[in-house]
Structure 1
Amino acid sequence: MPHSLLQQHFGFSEFRPGQQQTIEHLLAGRSAAAIFPTGSGKSLCYQLPALALPNLTLVISPLLALMQDQLAFLHSKGIPAATIDSTQSYEQSQQVMRQVRDGEIKILMISVERLKNERFRNFIGQIPISLLVVDEAHCISEWGHNFRPDYLKLPHYRQSLNIERVLLLTATATPQVIDDMAAKFAIDPSCITATGFYRCNLDLGVEAVSPEQRLPYLQQHLDSRREQPAIVYVTQQQSAEQVATALKQTGHHVAAYHAGLEHPLRMRIQQQFMAGELAVIVATIAFGMGVDKADIRHVIHYDLPKSIENYSQEIGRAGRDGQRSECLVLANQANRSVLENFIYGDTPEQDSIARVLTEVSQAGPQWELMANQLSASSNVRPLPLRTLLVYLEMAGLIESKYSYYAEVKFKLKVTETELANRFQGERKHFVEALFASCQKARIWWQVDFEALYQGYGAERSRALTALDYFEQQGLIELQTKQMTEVYQVQQPLPPLEPVLQQLVQQFASKEHSEVGRIEQMLALLQTPECLSHALADYFGDSAAPQQCGHCSACRGDVATLAAVATPPMASPEQIAQWLAPLQQALVQHGWAYTPRIGARFLTGLPSPWLTKVKARQMPGYGQQEQQPFAQLEAQC
């Protein structure tokens, strides 16, 4: 059956390496993992089984652009697929939910955050699901290069939704990460398929180029390869704009792409690149995961990649058609401090962690929190805060129970009596009790779930299901606000000081590990051995040739990256002058100044408190972004 579906729906006569065995595991009812290089056909491993399995295939994907790209492909093959995402209108998401409910959709793509949505969980819990697919599955591992704490909840969601089989997909996982992610889903080692990381059509080059030489070198490189599709990767948004402007002035069809651009503009730039209207994209890592363009001939790293995993993922976008493609790093150590500073900027301070622990200790047996409020009050950025909450769960102090909307309100599109009269017997009594428990304003009715439970004994879940049904029928307009997460707190709590020190150590270890990735990256770029072999070896692939013959090391052109002298640090008097307005603003809000906050301010790294005091408008913000964070912190 797999071969007939492959021919019928996808137009292929043969499977690529690894695809058939992965698909057969799934069709036999077993969970599986597929670790294939970027562009090697991982997606087919769930697209084909989705057609053969009786119920819905639910795909967890980390990026909206990735979902849109997959959907376009599936629609082109006549396969019914959809997404529910934040860009959709209310009517669009309702239509998708109706189609899923009616069995008209075979594949539904969502972000992992969607599963935290109380209304979505109510909906999806009623849908039979044959297969859960976790794309970019390395995100579930703390040892991965892109750890996303919410991915750790996926085994729990899989259990609560009663999903028989799971497929994990990734292109960038070391042996340690593969073991970790497979263990979390109890995947048998015999069902893990890794096809190797070696790409014989990619020419890997490293050129030691000083910061000042990079732009002329890049222009010369692209001038001799005009109109060949290329991606130029930079670290910062400002660099993307500057490099794109310079290339435009020399006649290249080029655009900058980064997270600072409005979503419609980003989509338009991506579409122009896909259509060949733009030859070159100068981008931060915000670009690429959703791009499945087969004929990208060049991937050039203008700045150092963040890690070997990032490098592998980014060069993997070149030459997906199998034709020779060039991957070039214009290497120096100039932006090493910038890369390291991003890592330091994400590490919460001891005082901030202590504030979160105080909240836990004061909560009693049940802790309700709104993540944005907790981030703002503790000065922990949203992603590290999610990591901190996961660490607290792993330590056994808290256990995630559920999340809900603090505010659920609706407005009637028919009269109260007309709506109630659509039902009979106990259902009618329930609808009347639901209305009676609401606080009524002129237009909006706000539901008091506690009053409903006390007066009628109806659970919150029943009320939400009813409101969703009313909305589907066009009887009400429903609004939900303020996501609240509920945790059960260990009783009694252990002494918190040892917990605090353990958490501080965990974040310090994570920080050390992330900085270590930069060291590994620099070592790879300077290896005297074959670059292709060294890259494959990092990912545990022993089948790559010892000498590929198509990398700069094999050509005898081994890069040596001299340490770059950073600009002189500002004088203590100048630093004190820059920090004075910040310190004053923090005092006015009742917050304590710390050297780490000062270093974040001077290196231009945002944090909730810096945002609150409008730090960007102060003269010293970002004035020392080239300085090593740790040295600057010592001066603050």
Structure 2
Amino acid sequence: MLDSLERTFGFRAFRPGQEATVSAVLSGRSVAAIFPTGSGKSLCYQLPAVLLPHLTLVVSPLLALMQDQLAFLAARGIPAASIDSTQSREQVQATMARAKSGELKILMISVERLKNERFRHFIGQVPISLLVVDEAHCISEWGHNFRPDYLKLPDYQKQFGIPQVLLLTATATPAVIADMREKFAIAAADVITTGFYRANLNLQVEPVSGTARTARLVEWLGARAGQPSIVYVTQQKTAEELAAQLCGHGIPASAYHAGMDYADRERVQRRFMAGTLNCIVATIAFGMGIDKSDIRNVVHFDLPKSIENYSQEIGRAGRDGQPSDCLVLANRDSLSVLENFVYGDTPEREGIQCVLQEIASAREGQWELMLSSLSERSNIRPLPLKTLLVQLQLRGIIVPRHSYFAEYRFKTLVDVQELLGHFDGERRAFVEAILTTSPRARTWSTLDFAALYERHGAERGRVVRALEYLQERGWIELESQQMTEVYGVLDAGFDLDALCEALYRYFKRQEGSEIARIGAMLALFASDECLSRRLARYFGDERAPEHCGHCSVCRGQVARLPEPPALPTLAGQALRTRCGAFLDKYQAARGVPPSADCVTRFLCGIGMPFFTRLRARTLPGFAALERYSYEQVYAWIEWQLPAGDEGAHPS
């Protein structure tokens, strides 16, 4: 082990926790390694992978993380590869062949890849020594960043006969660790933590009213001119506005959020990493996989989503061990925005019922769906909809089979006769049939699979393979759209009402857990106990000093978070005056009145899938009550909706 550490990786000694983790894995045991951000978790699977006899399968949530780690492994001569959605069919097949032959030591995939029946069949034929789950807290419904597809991983471990697992994460509370242990049968002694206390991070919580935050941020960053800094905000529009304001005050800054073009995000990130840009104003879209050691300042302009998010985000500061400042500009002004993100992810009963009715009416034991279309029909956001589908899998109702693109279109890049001239006989006739049966609009032709099958008996799979071949040769440009997922229906005879209620209660429990997590974060920031100590204890670490000496509490500055400005009472106001156009448009579009939850989401400015079709953001009243709490608005709406309206009074 030590010989491989130096010979392969160039390290003469392990960092804290690494040796115990690697030793346990090489002894054949399953392990959970909980190390702070930037403390060398990756080596804990990379070194065993070199020494274990078979493949190490790594499940990672982010493509950028995979690419960085593959580059690291390639530089050390370790045969490793990934399979992801950016690759061609030939690239995927080549990687599979390397895995089957035993050439590969490490294969990296996203968890969604395991939903594909063909991939599961392939991986079931490959001997696997170790399953590695990166960002393993995603597996727990009681953790942050919960990823529903992670719930299936224990089943996959059994299905593929993988003898042991290694779970890696930087943020796991005792409850999440217990959940991880139970799901993968990990012994208590094989949970290895190195502690959450960071002696070089100066944690500061400063109470400041919402209107004074920008001026305080300008003053604070101005005193740290030129230092690499990340400013975290909740909403994309805040990132854009705040970056512009900082630039206006002579602090060069760029926004970074998921709403930007990929190329623009990459450009901003490259400049920050290279040091030509020293301040980024970002949503949580920025951070995972960022390996910059000299970030001196992390500021939370808005409250973070949870203590786990706070810990992960400040963990990006001071990885070089040098003193770094982490500031929270704290108040309760944006509390309703944070809570509204949570409430928006809880499906209405009607939405769950819509999905269950579709499954119950599926024919021949097969159910096909396009996630975006189902999301709109059920009015359930994509992430909770994925959670719902996984819950139905765990209950034995459905099982994923495969997926395919519903629509293909192409444009020819060479003369048609020249293209056909590359073929003869039956193959020429087949290609000609593809070209002649595909309706053309100006430059793009759209595949008509039904016509091809009816007139020429052409199977869909062969047609797609032919198009991909033509594209590889540079004769056509090919585009695919509308991913369709295919599920097998294992139990169509379920009790619809009982299952709907059980699933709704599941989501309500999740909602309660998330709201409680926000409350725990506020309690941390307003605490009169050492912030470093309290943060460490939240994650079950009792080793932090009682008084760190470098947090705002230890400096005698206990935060008393200012209350948000008082809002006018809603009592006596008429609902129709606030959103009459929305009520009428919803009723006309769906044939039933909106529920109290639905109207609350409209007035609180919470985006929902069906709102896009209604163009709800353009209607009077959208987000008019976004500063009020969800419960306040819901209670005010509930008593105003007619008692007889179906779905108007969800409990």
Give the counterpart letter for 1:17 in structure 2.
P
Classify the secondary structure of the residue corresponding to 2:346.
Answer: coil
Q: Which residue of 2 aligns with 1:222?
A: 221
Aligned residues: 611
How far the C-alpha of 1:397 sits from its partner, in A, is 5.7
How far apart are the structure 2 equivalents of 1:219 and 1:402? 54
The Cα of 1:66 is off from its aligned counterpart by 2.6
Q: Quote the Cα distance in structure 2 between the aligned partners of 1:94 and 1:410.
A: 24
Equivalence for 2:602: 601
Q: CA deviation at 1:213?
A: 1.6
Change (3 A) 1:29 1:397: closer
Q: What is the aligned partner in structure 1 of residue 648 from structure 2?
A: none
Q: For the residues of structure 2 that align with 1:328 and 1:158, how far apart are their CA atoms? A: 42
Q: CA deviation at 1:182?
A: 2.2
SS of 1:312's equivalent? Answer: helix
Per-residue deviation, 1:591: 4.3
**Could you tell me which residue of structure 1 aligns to residue 144 of structure 2?**
145
Q: 1:410 to 1:230 in 2, by over 3 A?
A: closer
Is residue 356 of structure 1 aligned with residue 355 of structure 2? Answer: yes
Query: Which string of whole-angstrom CA distances, capped at 9 and with x for unpartnered residues, describes residues 318-342 of structure 1?
Result: 1111111111111111100100011
Q: Do the aligned partners of 1:208 and 1:332 also contact (CA within 8 Å) in 2? A: yes
What corresponds to 1:504 in structure 2? 504
Structure 1 position 551, deviation (Å) = 1.0
Task: Report whether the alignment pairs 1:556 with 2:556.
Answer: yes
**In 2, Cα distance between the equivalents of 1:84 and 1:43?**
18
Take 1:480 and 1:623, find their aligned partners in 2: how far apart are those partners? 36
CA contact (8 A) 1:376 1:608 kept: yes
**Alignment partner, residue 338 of structure 1:** 337
Give the partner amino acid of 1:132: L
Conserved 8 A contact 2:195-2:543 = yes
Q: Secondary structure at the match of 1:400?
A: strand
Aligned ranges for residues 276-287 of structure 1 at < 5 Å? 276-287=275-286
**Compared CA separation, residues 481 and 306, structure 1 to 2 (3 A):** closer
Match of 1:484 in 2: 485
Aligned to 1:62: 61
Match of 2:543 in 1: 543
Question: What is the deviation of 1:155?
Answer: 2.1
Q: Which residue of 1 aligns with 2:442?
A: none
**Match for 1:558: what amino acid?**
V
Cα displacement (A) at 1:587: 2.7
In structure 2, how many angstroms separate the alpha carbons of the residues matched to 1:18 and 1:137? Answer: 17
The residue type equivalent to 1:271 in the other structure is: R
Q: TM-score, normalised by structure 2?
A: 0.84
What letter is aligned with 1:203? Answer: N
Conserved 8 A contact 1:365-1:489: no
Q: Aligned in 2, Cα 1:406/1:284: closer, same or farther, shift over 3 Å?
A: closer
Counterpart position of 1:239: 238
**In the alignment, which residue of structure 1 is the partner of 2:614?**
613
Q: State the one-letter code of the partner of 1:484.
A: E
Distance of 1:569 and 1:383 partners within structure 2 = 34
Where 2:271 maps in the other structure, the secondary structure is helix
The whole-number CA distance in structure 2 between the counterparts of 1:47 and 1:263 is 30
Q: Partner amino acid for 1:165?
A: Q
Say if 1:21 and 1:591 are closer, same or farther in 2 by CA, change over 3 A. Answer: farther
Amino acid at match of 2:328: V
Counterparts of 1:111 and 1:306, CA distance in 2 = 24
1:590 aligns with 2:573: no
Match of 1:44 in 2: 43
Checking the alignment, whether the CA contact within 8 Å between 2:359 and 2:492 is kept in structure 1 is: no
Q: Does 1:630 align with 2:631?
A: yes
| Local SS of the residue matching 1:25 | helix
Distance, in Å, in 1 between the alignment partners of 2:399 and 2:523 is 41
Instruction: Give the partner amino acid of 2:387.
Output: T
Query: Are the counterparts in 2 of residues 572 and 635 from structure 1 also a CA contact under 8 Å?
Result: no
* Worse-superposed segment, 106-115 or 322-331: 106-115
CA displacement at 1:566 relative to structure 2: 4.8
Deviation at 1:620, TM superposition (A): 2.8
Greater shift, 376-385 or 497-506, is seen at 497-506
Q: 8 Å contact 1:440–1:446 — kept in the other structure? A: no
Partner of 2:172: 173
Deviations along 1:449-501, whole A, 9 cap, x unmatched? x99xxx9xx9x9xx89x969x9699799997964323243436423x333333
Tell me the equivalent position of 2:520.
520
**Residue identity opposite 2:20 in structure 1:** Q
* RMSD of equivalent CA atoms: 3.7
* 1:592-611, Cα deviation, whole Å (9 max, x unpaired): 32222222122222112101
Q: Larger deviation: 380-389 or 185-194?
A: 185-194
* Deviation at residue 144 of structure 1 after TM alignment: 0.9
SS in structure 2 of the partner of residue 589 of structure 1: helix
Describe the SS at the equivalent of 1:527.
coil
**Which letter maps to 2:556?**
G
1:580 aligned partner = 580
C-alpha distance 365-612 of structure 1, shift in aligned 2 (>3 A): same
Counterpart of 2:484 in 1: which secondary structure? Answer: strand
The superposition leaves residues 563-601 of structure 1 with CA deviations (integer Å, 9 ceiling, x where unpaired) of 213543679767524522322332332243222222212
Letter matched to residue 195 of structure 2: G
Change (3 A) 1:409 1:507: closer
Q: Distance in 1 between matches of 2:102 and 2:566?
A: 60
- The worse-fitting range, judged by mean Cα deviation, of 541-550 and 59-68 is 59-68
Residues 18-27 or 473-482, more deviating: 473-482
Tell me, yes or no, if the aligned pair for 1:397 and 1:493 is still in contact at 8 Å.
Answer: no
Deviation at 1:170, TM superposition (A): 0.6
* Residue identity opposite 2:230 in structure 1: I
Q: Structure 1 residues 534, 97: closer, same or farther in 2, change over 3 A?
A: same
- Larger displacement relative to structure 2 (280-289 or 615-624): 615-624
The amino acid of 2:214's aligned partner reads: L
AA aligned opposite 1:581: A
CA deviations on 1:531-573 (whole Å, 9 max, x unpaired) are 1111111111111111111111111111111321354367976
Partner of 1:83: 82
Q: Is the Cα–Cα contact under 8 Å of residues 118 and 405 in structure 1 kept in the other structure?
A: no
Instruction: Please tell me whether the aligned partners of residues 569 and 627 of structure 1 are also in contact (alpha carbons under 8 angstroms).
Output: no
- 1:213 aligned to 2:236? no
Taking a change above 3 Å as real, the CA distance of residues 74 and 277 of structure 1, as seen in their structure-2 partners, is farther
Query: Residues 383 and 326 from structure 1, CA distance in 2 versus in 1: closer, same or farther, beyond 3 angstroms?
Result: same
Return the alpha-carbon distance in structure 2 between the equivalents of residues 122 and 491 of structure 1.
25
Which deviates further from its counterpart, 558-567 or 519-528?
Answer: 558-567
Deviates more, 1:36-45 or 1:161-170: 161-170
Partner of 1:398: 397
Written as runs of structure 1 = structure 2, the 5 A alignment for 1:198-347 is 198-347=197-346
Paired residue secondary structure (1:58): strand
After TM superposition, the score normalised by the length of structure 1 is 0.86
Q: What code does the residue aligned with 1:568 have?
A: P
Name which of structure 1's ranges 276-285 and 477-486 shifts more when overlaid on structure 2. 477-486
Q: Taking structure 1 as reference, are residues 472 and 245 closer, same or farther at Cα in structure 2, changes over 3 Å only? A: same
Cα pair 2:570 2:636 within 8 Å, conserved = no
Measure how far apart 1:142 and its partner are: 0.9
- For 1:18 and 1:541, the matched residues in 2 are separated by 14
Following superposition, the deviation at residue 245 of structure 1 comes to 1.1
For 1:365 and 1:545, locate their aligned partners in 2 and report how far apart those are by CA, in whole Å: 63
AA in 1 matched with 2:619: M
Q: Structure 1: 5+ residue runs without aligned partners?
A: 421-433
Q: Is the 8 A contact 2:360 2:492 kept in 1?
A: no
Return the alpha-carbon distance in structure 2 between the equivalents of residues 199 and 246 of structure 1.
32
Q: Distance in 2 between matches of 1:102 and 1:419?
A: 33
Query: Take 1:191 and 1:270, find their aligned partners in 2: how far apart are those partners?
Result: 37
Q: Which amino acid aligns with 1:11?
A: G
CA contact (8 A) 1:253 1:277 kept: no
Q: Structure 1, residues 28-84: CA drift from partner, whole Å, max 9, x if none? A: 333221111111111111122222234433321112333333334334445444433
Deviations 1:115-146, CA, capped at 9 Å, x for gaps: 22345445544544333211111111111112
> Partner letter of residue 535 of structure 1?
L
Larger displacement relative to structure 2 (109-118 or 603-612): 109-118
Change (3 A) 1:71 1:447: farther
Q: Which runs of 5+ in 2 are unaligned?
A: 411-418, 439-444, 638-651
Distance in 2 between residues matched to 1:19 and 1:230, nearest whole Å: 29
In the alignment, residue 375 of structure 2 is paired with which amino acid?
S
- CA shift at 1:439, angstroms? 13
Contact preservation (8 Å) 2:152, 2:390? no
Which is further off, 556-565 or 485-494? Answer: 485-494
Q: Give the match's secondary structure for 2:590.
A: coil
- Distance in 1, matches of 2:551 and 2:260, equals 35
